[in-house]
């Protein structure tokens, strides 16, 4: 059995289903190869040092259930390779639906930017905006991602609790929306992510409630991501806040995920 089959078998024994992609990504990273398209590439030939690193990373993935994105320090979002660290939420395919629906606004306010995924994706399309976060460490990562994709002059990053002064075409956010009780049921990988980017009070709506209410004075259009069981509650919040047209859209997996209000 070669080291790649051995790694897959070990990860399965640790409760990780379908570990093939994890093994390929970690192998490419440890061999110093580009991560883009690594899933379709043949296994790399390691130097002894690279193989030792591969074994250490596989052990961390299995024993600690560390997300592979934190191990290799990056994740793909909308075709953009973004730096991620333990200070940031890992960008997910479900959030790509938010950006697709946003289209090409001229100006935006991205609340809780984290790694900067949404802001950078919009700026690459030509938008100009402001991105806020409570975490200075997350903002450092977001700034680096903006520089990496040459849009640092299009985004103003601000350490703030949700809003800043100003008018925008769009307020957009993937905020925390997991209830306190649900936090204990999350997969081990998710529990490595920053709690303040996940948890939103007893009903999971504490942050969404503030965003939906506060966005009306700042933009004529709002887009927010929410939990797959929260559609009715978030729609009610938007209508109570005075938004007139409210639509719910699904993510790439078919789950209710995005509220658009105008």
Last residue within a domain, chosen from 46, 72, 98: 72
Whole-angstrom Cα distance, residue 109 to residue 262? 15
Identify the domain boundary among 26, 41, 72. 72
Calculate mean pLDDT across residues 140-157.
98
Residues 219 and 92 reside in one and the same domain = yes
Give residue 180's pLDDT. Answer: 94
**Mean pLDDT to the nearest integer, 55-59:** 93
Whether 148 is covered by a domain: the verdict is: yes
Number of H helices, E strands in the chain: 10, 9
> Does one domain contain both 106 and 204?
yes
Question: What is the structure's pLDDT at 42?
Answer: 82
Count Cβ atoms within 10 A of the Cβ of residue 245 and give its class: 0-12 exposed, 13-18 middle, 19 or more buried: exposed
Mean of the pLDDT values across residues 61-81? Answer: 94
Tell me whether residue 211 is in a domain.
yes
Same structural domain, 129 and 30: no
User: Are 52 and 102 within one domain?
Assistant: no
Tell me: pLDDT of 156 over 90: yes
Are 101 and 162 contained in the same domain? Answer: yes
104 and 173 in one domain? yes
CATH code for the domain in which residue 98 is found: 3.40.50.150
Domain that holds residue 128: 85-261
The mean predicted confidence, pLDDT, of the chain is 93
Q: Are residues 109 and 193 in the same domain?
A: yes
Domain count of the fold of the chain? 2
pTM for the whole structure: 0.93
What pLDDT does residue 1 have? 61
Let me know whether 164 and 245 are in one domain.
Answer: yes
- Lookup: tokens for 100: 């697709």
Is 245 a residue whose pLDDT tops 70?
Answer: yes
**Position 78 in a domain:** no
Stretch among 46-50, 127-131, 197-201, 254-258 having the lowest mean pLDDT: 46-50
Residues 166 and 62 in one domain: no
- 129: number of Cβ within 10 Å: 25
Counting Cβ atoms within 10 Å, is residue 150 exposed (0-12), middle (13-18) or buried (19+)? exposed
Claim to verify: residue 39 and residue 99 sit in the same structural domain? no
Q: Which whole number is the average pLDDT over 111-131? A: 97
| Residue 194 and residue 101 share a domain | yes
Q: Please check whether residue 142 is in contact with residue 116, taking contact to mean a CB–CB distance below 8 angstroms.
A: yes
Q: Classify residue 79: in a domain, yes or no.
A: no
Tell me, yes or no, whether 222 and 180 share the same domain.
yes
């Amino acid at each position: 059995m070669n080291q790649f089959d051995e790694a897959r078998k070990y990860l399965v024994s640790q409760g990780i289903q379908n570990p093939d992609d994890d093994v390929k990504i970690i192998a490419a990273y440890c061999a110093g190869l580009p991560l883009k398209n690594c899933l379709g590439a043949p296994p790399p030939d390691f130097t002894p040092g690279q193989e030792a690193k591969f074994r250490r990373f596989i052990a961390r993935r299995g024993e600690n259930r560390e997300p592979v994105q934190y191990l290799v320090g990056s994740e793909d979002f909308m075709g953009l390779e973004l730096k991620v660290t333990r200070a940031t939420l890992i960008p997910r395919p479900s959030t790509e639906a938010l950006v697709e629906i946003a289209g090409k606004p001229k100006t935006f306010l991205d609340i809780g930017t984290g790694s900067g995924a949404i802001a950078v994706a919009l700026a690459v399309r030509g938008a100009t905006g402001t991105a806020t976060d409570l975490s200075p460490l997350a903002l450092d990562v977001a700034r680096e991602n903006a520089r990496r994709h040459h849009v640092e002059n299009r985004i103003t990053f601000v350490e703030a609790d949700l809003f800043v002064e100003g008018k925008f075409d769009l307020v957009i956010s993937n905020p925390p929306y997991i209830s306190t009780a649900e936090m204990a049921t999350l997969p081990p990988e998710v529990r490595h992510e920053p709690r303040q980017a996940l948890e939103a009070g007893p009903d999971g709506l504490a942050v969404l409630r503030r965003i939906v209410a506060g966005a009306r004075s700042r933009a004529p259009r709002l887009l927010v991501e929410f939990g797959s069981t929260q559609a009715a509650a978030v729609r009610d919040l938007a209508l109570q806040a005075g938004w007139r047209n409210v639509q719910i859209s699904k993510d790439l997996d078919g789950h209710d995920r995005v509220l658009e209000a105008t």
